[in-house]
Amino acid sequence: MEHLVSSWCNGRSLPESYILPPEKRPGKLTVPLANNIPVIDLGGHDQTDLIQQILEACQEFGFFQVINHGVPSNLMDEAMSVFKEFHALSAKDKAIETSKDPNKSCHIYTSSPNYATEKFHFWRDGLVHHCNPLEKYIQFWPEKPPRYREVVGPYTAEVSKLGFRILEFISQGLGISLGGLGGNQALVVNHYPPCPDPSLTLGLGKHMDPVFINILLQSDVYGLQVFKDEEWIGVEPIPNAFVVNIGYPLQIISNGKLKGAEHRVVTNSNVARTTASYFINPSNETLIEPAKSLVDASYPALYKSLLYKDFLIKYIAASTDSKALEEALRATV
């Protein structure tokens, strides 16, 4: 907590613990902006066509952006304002505002939840809190800035609705029903301060999200990159859009039909970047396994069956090594 990047980064050069080993550095900072990441208009009325577009995007990229998604743009703007105001608070206030729940359903960290044990750090602070059911968790959310709960309550309700709508399209597209929905839902408000040397560090290292789906509000500052065909492509900020990506559990359930894409965040030296991830996760006791209807003699199950909580243990053990994780999850043939 005392480590928060935003509390000490002003005017400092990059500390050694933030310098990545050469093979993990971002390399070329300017990569092609992905005008090929699909932008899907959810305002369209042809449901079959929408499902088709979403499924294709999940198959090819694991990523897409949505516009005309139904979340009011003033609510998105207000939420982004309070997220920025929160990260602009003093370190002391941030500590107070994130320690209301002894069970830590709301907390703040720097770099990653593994700060104490990781070999090097990433250039971000992250505020995390549970969102569902709202009545249970809102009492633990920050009360500074004063409008935090008033704005973020309706914001998370709307984004949750959007996430479930997209999950419903995906399950219809695959012809399956997704179990364990409505499990844990969490908001992570990321803050990446201006960085003294973006070539040596990252805001977030290469990773795949261990969730069903993430609905990301990425603001107008570029930084997100997706790994596709062994190359990094940038995700262009589009006003009022959300970036949507699917995570590993959906890759397993779809028996590899859908891709949970690896992604990372690069920093920049000019402006701070604030983003908000809304994660919809399976419940801990949900069995994550290839859907029966997607498995047959020509498409054998690619992955083992695992409870979500056991999947998470393997995910954490693999610590962003995607090959090791894939091996740990693959069905033995």
Number of other CB atoms surrounding residue 201 within 10 Å: 25
Interaction with ligand OGA in 81-140: which residues (CB under 6 A)?
Answer: none
| Size of the chain, expressed as the number of residues it contains | 333
Of 33-41, 67-75, 130-138, 215-223, which segment contacts ligand OGA by CB under 6 A? Answer: 215-223
Candidate list 4, 37, 80, 216; residue touching ligand OGA; CB under 6 A? 216
Binds ligand OGA (CB under 6 A): choice among 111, 132, 171, 190 = 190
Distance CA 207, CA 192 (A): 17
Phi, psi values for residue 106, rounded to 5°: -125, 125
Peptide bond preceding 22 in cis form (omega within 30 of 0): no
Partner interacting with residue 190 (select from Ni ion, ligand OGA, none; CB below 5-8 Å by kind): ligand OGA
Q: Which residue is nearest to Ni ion (CB)?
A: 209
Using alpha carbons only, how large is the chain's radius of gyration in Å?
19
* Closer by beta carbon to ligand OGA, 172 or else 240: 240
Q: For ligand OGA, what does the binding mask look like between residues 218 and 237, x meaning CB under 6 A?
A: x----xx-------------
Round to whole Å and give the CA distance between 25 and 45.
44
Cβ burial of 43 (10 Å; 0-12, 13-18, 19+) is exposed
User: Nearest approach, Cβ of 188 to ligand OGA (angstroms)?
Assistant: 5
**Selected binder of ligand OGA within 263, 286, 301, 302 (CB under 6 A):** 263
- Give the contact letters, 141-180, x = binds to ligand OGA (CB under 6 A), - = no: ----------------------------------------
How far apart are CB 204 and ligand OGA at their closest, in Å? 5
Instruction: Say if CB 128 and CB 186 are below 8 A apart.
Output: yes
Peptide bond into 133 cis (omega under 30): yes
